[in-house]
Amino acid sequence: MRYSLRLGAIAVAIACSVPVALPRRLSAQILDRRAVLARQSWWDNRDWDWYSTRIPFFESPDSAIDATYYYRWELVTKHLTYGSPESGYTFTEFLDRPFWSGRYGAISCPLGHQFAELRWLNDPDIIDDFARYWFETPGAQPRSYSNWYGSAMWGVYEVAGDTAFLRSVLPYMKQQYAGWMAEHWDSTQRMFRWDGLHDGMERNINSRQTDDIDEGAEGYRPTLNSYMYGDALAIARASTVFGDRETARDFSARAKELQQRVERELWDEQREFFLHQFAHDEKDGVRALSRTYETGKFAGNPHGRELIGYVPWQFDLPEPDKGYERAWRFLMDSSYFLAPYGPTTTERHDPQFYISPRCCWWSGNSWPYATTQTLVAMANLLDDYRQSVVSKRDWMKLFDIYTRTQRKNGRPYVAEGANPDNGSWSGFDTYYHSEHYFHSGYVDLVVTGLVGLRPRADDSVEVQPLAPESWNYFALDDMRYHGHSLSILWDRDGTRYKRGRGLIVIADGHTIASAPHLQRTTAFLGAAITTPRAKRMVNVAVNNDRGAYPWVHTSFSAPANPAFYVVDGNYWYHETPPNRWTTVGSPNTRDTISVDFGVQREVEQVKLYFLDDGEGAAVRAPAMYELQTWNGRRWVDANVERRTPLAPTGHRANVVAVAPVRTSRVRVVLEPRRSAAVGMTELEVWGRNPLNREPD
């Protein structure tokens, strides 16, 4: 995610752009979406309709990048959680909902990465729900871990261009900042203070110098202080949008002061790096206000660098041309951070460097959370700073390593951490927990780094690709940007997409800019387009709060697959983890599953997420099904208007549109295939019901 844009960069961008004087109308869709999806064989969620209407499509000459890009969108669907009709959608971090998570399983630590991915999703309702979840849902825990909520909201606005959204979240941005001030501001040191555990970074080299290696080492970290710098700037910029100059000046001044404090207190001139600074005296002679290894057992050691030292560039915090760029010389050196499946979280020859065989040690292992931050920061460095320490080729090398790290048994995969030398996730991907872990980003790196769309709040489009010069083509197609449909193509000789040669930017079917090479290119897009929202339906079948209603009844449930899974707001199709209801062992020729709302609800749509474990498996999609509603006396067939798809299909939503009806119960009658049981991972019932009161 990009968090700032310097005036110098704007001037260079305009100078290098090649606008097209007379835009010509082109097809709005460049890629064959179903053909692109069909190239991948590993899908769990095969809901082509969901992807086709919600994600930008991408292709490149690198099949590993393509596969990882689409896997990361599938991963989004694994963590998409419908909490309640009042709360709407949120996202989990783990597949399960650990005891330390907030309501409905969300955890604040990765929210910045999650919003960076989700801002490219063409579904503003999901984004809106997740943004307000943190401050409108009791038990959401918006500050249980350090994060950059304010910057994330500004990042969403830079993509959507929706001032109504920004106006709605600005109070929450301010509330979040005030919370950090009340809880973690140190007025003496004039920085924010916390420990590594609450960065999600247990057992780091600083906490291991205290009596509590998990939660020890409270101090002034490059992470939280950079996040708060970014959040302050975001509030200032949002306030400027609405003409609130006083608030904009206030938060700009806060950001400037924090920038100066980070540069003065956390930068180590000898080691040329941003380091942790201890808040208290610790064991073995570690002294308060000393940086890593300045005092204590390892005093004078020339190492102590951690990957978090690059986080300030994630928010463009370091002042340009002051020499801070020297820190980047360590990243691509295998004597420091570079590794076959890295980078490492701590430099290689640190006295506490340790590759752990199990979670959670962050003293050497490869950590996707920090790798994402580093790649974002590096892209900002290349875009916004004058330096010769690292190059586009270096960024692509690290991105390629990150891509190929996300593999297990030959298919795309990501978990909590990996061995940086052999890429093994073993010990970090606990069953039904951190498999397919949503604690990092990738889609945003493709969009803003590889393809190089640098989001802006004005009416322009800026593209600065980091893709290799050797590539003959790539395409990012039909992306929603400021309400426009945007496609960015690279076609060296014009033969692949037949839209012209070189780098081409297409908006709403018109070519608005082109360039002969992979270079910075800008164009005028025009004002953002906002579309009025229709009144939303809500899912009245979900029951995450364990109330008496909605109540699920089945004619039969396999003991290992109880029915409450079908109303928990999540859908997964793989055999493990066991988020599924099945009829394995049922003696019935037909089975039923019904939802009782306890009161009458308006029903317009039912979604059935059927399981199908494949040919010869115990659980298959049903041969047929019927949908019924309760009329107060008996079950009657629903007035079905449309089924999509027509035949029962596993691994996707089976959407049944019905003539609107008020009913207190909905039932599905399932006829299994021969020698197979049936099952579902989720059952949703949608209608236009009020959220804050019972229907009349």
- Tell me if 233 sits within 8 A of 255, measured CB to CB: yes
Ramachandran category for residue 530: left, alpha or beta (phi over 0 → left; psi -120 to 50 → alpha): beta
Residue 26 has pLDDT above 90, yes or no: no
> How many Cα atoms occupy the beta-carbon half-sphere of 5 within 13 Å?
22
What is the torsion angle, in degrees rounded to the nearest 10, for the CA atoms of residue 104, residue 112, residue 176 and residue 81?
A: -20
Q: What is the pLDDT of residue 36?
A: 97
Q: What is the pLDDT of residue 3?
A: 41
> What does the mean pLDDT of the chain come to?
94
Amino acid identity of residue 620, one-letter, is R
CA distances from 576 to 80, 303, 436 (A): 17, 43, 12
Amino acid identity of residue 111, one-letter, is L
Segment among 65-74, 409-418, 459-468, 533-542 with least mean pLDDT: 533-542
530 burial (CB, 10 Å; 0-12 / 13-18 / 19+) is: middle
- Tell me if 316 sits within 8 A of 308, measured CB to CB: no
Q: Vertex 267, ends 265 and 270: CA angle to 5°?
A: 120
Q: Provide the sign of the torsion angle of the four alpha carbons 599, 603, 605, 610, taken in this order.
A: positive
Residue 569 CA to residue 583 CA, distance in Å, equals 20
pLDDT band of 534, cuts 50, 70, 90: confident
| Tokens 């460049």, residue located | 30
Number of helical (H) and strand (E) elements in the chain, helices listed first: 14, 26
The residues facing 665 across adjacent strands are 596
Residue 187 has pLDDT above 90, yes or no: yes
Residue 486 CA to residue 508 CA, distance in Å, equals 6
- pTM of the predicted structure, to 2 decimals: 0.95
DSSP 8-state secondary structure symbol assigned to residue 677: B
State pLDDT tens for residues 73-127: 999 999 999 999 999 999 999 999 999 999 999 999 999 999 999 999 999 999 9
State pLDDT tens for residues 343-366: 999 999 999 999 999 999 999 999
Amino acid identity of residue 434, one-letter, is S
Q: Vertex 395, ends 390 and 399: CA angle to 5°?
A: 155
Residue 313 has pLDDT above 70, yes or no: yes
Q: What is the pLDDT of residue 19?
A: 37
CA distances from 416 to 77, 80, 102, 229 (A): 18, 18, 19, 27
Question: Edge to edge, what strands does the sheet with 473-481 contain?
Answer: 57-59, 473-481, 484-491, 502-507, 510-515
Residue 572 CA to residue 585 CA, distance in Å, equals 22
Amino acid identity of residue 171, one-letter, is P
Closest by CA position to 588, among listed 527, 670, 657, 646? 670
Q: Backbone phi, then psi, for 484, in 5-degree steps?
A: -95, 160
State pLDDT tens for residues 407-423: 999 999 999 999 999 99
Q: What is the pLDDT of residue 24?
A: 40
Closest by CA position to 341, among listed 415, 407, 420, 413? 420
Q: Indicate the angle between helix axes 392-405 and 63-79, nearest 10 degrees.
A: 60
- The tokens for 557 are 């449930």
State pLDDT tens for residues 365-418: 999 999 999 999 999 999 999 999 999 999 999 999 999 999 999 999 999 999
545 burial (CB, 10 Å; 0-12 / 13-18 / 19+) is: exposed
Closest by CA position to 659, among listed 636, 691, 634, 682? 636
144 burial (CB, 10 Å; 0-12 / 13-18 / 19+) is: middle
* For the chain, percent of residues with pLDDT exceeding 70: 95
DSSP 8-state secondary structure symbol assigned to residue 412: E
pLDDT band of 28, cuts 50, 70, 90: low
| Tokens 């910057």, residue located | 151
Q: List CB contacts of 384: < 8 A, sequence separation 6 or more.
A: 4, 5, 6, 9, 316, 320
Length of the chain: 696
- Tell me if 578 sits within 8 A of 653, measured CB to CB: no
Q: What is the pLDDT of residue 383?
A: 97
Residue 24 CA to residue 514 CA, distance in Å, equals 12
Residue 677 CA to residue 674 CA, distance in Å, equals 8
Closest by CA position to 653, among listed 32, 53, 40? 53
Q: List CB contacts of 269: < 8 A, sequence separation 6 or more.
A: none
Ramachandran category for residue 216: left, alpha or beta (phi over 0 → left; psi -120 to 50 → alpha): beta
DSSP reduced 3-state for 66: helix
Q: What is the CATH number of domain 538-687?
A: 2.60.120.260
- Tell me if 522 sits within 8 A of 14, measured CB to CB: yes
Residue 341 CA to residue 327 CA, distance in Å, equals 21
Residue 141 CA to residue 135 CA, distance in Å, equals 8
DSSP string, 34-90: HHHHHT----S---HHHHHHHS-EEE-S-HHHHHHHHHHHHHHHHHEEEEETTTEEE
CA 44 to chain centre: 19
Q: What is the pLDDT of residue 22?
A: 31
Q: Provide the sign of the torsion angle of the four alpha carbons 567, 572, 578, 584, taken in this order.
A: positive
